[in-house]
Each structure stands twice: as C-alpha cells, then as structure tokens.
Amino acid sequence: MTEPGPPGPEQPSGGQNFGVPQHVPGMYPPVPGPVPAKQSRTGWALFSVIAVIAVVMAAVAAVVVIRHVSGAQDSEISEAASTSSSTGAGSTPLRSVHLAAPNAVTKPGSTEPKATLKVYEDFLCPYCGRFEQVYGPTIQKLIADGRIAVDYTMVSILGRGDPKSYSVRAGAAAYCVADADPAAFQRFHTALFAKQPDEMAGSFPSDDQLIAQAREAGAPDSVADCITSGTNRAMVNTAVKSAGITSTPTVLLNGTDIGDAVLLHPDPQALLDQLKTLN
C-alpha cells in the first residue's frame, strides 16, 4: 500500500512486478529484491521501507497479476452516494460511490446488503492499480450477480496535500462522473487505472485530458464544468484524514479490514474465500 509523504512541489495541472511502496517521510524508487516477511500494510505487497538517518533499505515483491477488464453490465448497476462523518476538524465530509445491483442479496430482515466491500484508492497509487488488475473483474461480476455492494472512496495519498495534484484532481473528477452517470463512473474508474501515469512522472494528465477521458467513458458534457471548477477536490484532498486510513489500497469487508488476506497473496479466489466467511 502507499503511505503519504510530506507536502512536495506542485504538480502540473495539466501473476506483474510490484515496486517499493511509499513510506513516511518520502518516496523511494523501486529496487529489485526478494519478498520480505510481512511487516506493515504499506504498498500492495504489504511490506515497508525503513528509513534510518540517511540509509534507505527497500524490498520488492514480484507477483503475477491480470489486467482489469470490467465484467459488469451497465444496466445491472445502480449508484448512490453514502456519507461518512469526518474525523478531522474542518475537513469536507467524505462520501463514497456506492455500486449495487437491484437484486443485491440483503441481510435477513434488512435492506442492507449482506456483503459490502469498501475500497479506498488513489488513482496515482501503483498498488491500487494492481489491486484493480487482480480483483477488478471479479468485483464487477460479484456486483452484477448481486453478491456484493461496493463503496469506492477516492482519496489522495500521493498528492501530499496539494489540491492541484493529479491524485486530487483525478479523484475529484471520478466523483463528478459518478454523480452524473454511475455506469460511466465504472468505465472511467477502469480507464484511469488502465492509463495510470507513473507516480514519479514529470507531468500528469491535465483537467482537459480528464474531461476527454470522462467523455470517452460516456459521461455527459456537464462533467466538464464540475471537473474544471474543482468540485470535490477539497473532499478528496482531506479524505485520508477524514477516513482515518494510512495507506492505499485499504480494503474492508462489512467493516473488517481484509487487506492482509487479499493483498499478501493477490488472487481473485482470496476475495471469494473472504465472502464465504459471511455465510
């Protein structure tokens, strides 16, 4: 998973290999190495980078994954926004993009879905991209089959507090698309990870390019004003604090963190096994 570092310079507005995750206080480039024993939940492979004075020791895990291909039918998915209380004073209340099929299985005597997967993601986080590569198709099928509901929460962990960073702008744009068309959000969400820029890139997609991607995903023209005006940016920029998370992706099933189960040994079956524990 990816952990945030301190504020940095402003970015322009404008079975795969896993690299070294980011760790406070900064980011370090990938260095080949063996899979270490489990330490922290930093980065996709759940290992940490330890900085001692001027010495940086990095570990890299190599895991084979598959590319995300959406398996859900647009007509089978509905979206509603859910709001959670902010944990930080002055933070914009954080909400999620809720995806559930009309036939979603509910808890006995309740309208609440029997299984709700909550995923916190940063569109610049490479480990989030790899999570989507491994689990994206399975998640979309589970939604379409009514077996789970999913709450996607876009956060900025690599934006380092910069409201003009790509992490913030992409996350805010995703909310704009979701508010306009839930089905387009799914396609936009997939496209942003499929075309994910390198976190160390010298330049990043502009707002105009995000708008073009949104339109390609089927979003209406109205999302352009939402994206360029900066709607949702304050929420995404403070989302890490509001949610009380420390790394991305963070994955919860009915409120229980299942990151260790699905991230240490990335395989779609790992998620299916977690669902069986709810029966």
- Is a pLDDT exceeding 90 seen at residue 43? no
Tokens of 113: 């879905």
- Is a pLDDT exceeding 80 seen at residue 181? yes
**pLDDT recorded at residue 4:** 58
**pLDDT recorded at residue 18:** 34
Answer yes or no: are the C-beta atoms of 107 and 97 closer than 8 Å.
no
For the chain, what are the domain ranges? 74-276
Q: DSSP 3-state helix, strand, coil percentages of the chain (rounded to 5)? A: 30, 15, 50
Q: Over the stretch 85-126, which tens digit does the pLDDT of each residue have?
A: 333 334 578 999 999 999 999 999 999 999 999 999 999 999
- Is a pLDDT exceeding 70 seen at residue 273? yes
Nearest to 79 by CA among 238, 235, 192, 187: 187
**pLDDT recorded at residue 237:** 96
Most confident region among 8-22, 29-43, 111-125 by mean pLDDT:
111-125
Count of Cβ atoms closer than 10 Å to residue 191 Cβ: 16
Choose between 31 and 41: higher pLDDT.
41
Query: Binning pLDDT at 50, 70 and 90, where does residue 27 land?
Result: very low
Question: Options 3.50.30.30, 1.10.340.30, 3.40.30.10, 1.10.1670.10; which CATH number does 74-276 get?
Answer: 3.40.30.10
Q: Over the stretch 200-242, which tens digit does the pLDDT of each residue have?
A: 998 999 999 999 999 999 999 999 999 999 999 999 999 999 9
Query: Binning pLDDT at 50, 70 and 90, where does residue 59 land?
Result: very low
**Host H or E run for residue 121:** strand 116-121
Q: Over the stretch 186-197, which tens digit does the pLDDT of each residue have?
A: 999 999 999 999
**pLDDT recorded at residue 2:** 64
Contacts of 109 by beta carbon, 8 Å cutoff, 6+ apart:
none
Query: Binning pLDDT at 50, 70 and 90, where does residue 64 land?
Result: very low
Choose between 5 and 54: higher pLDDT.
5
Lowest-confidence range among 19-28, 41-50, 57-66, 110-119? 57-66
Nearest to 95 by CA among 128, 78, 120: 120
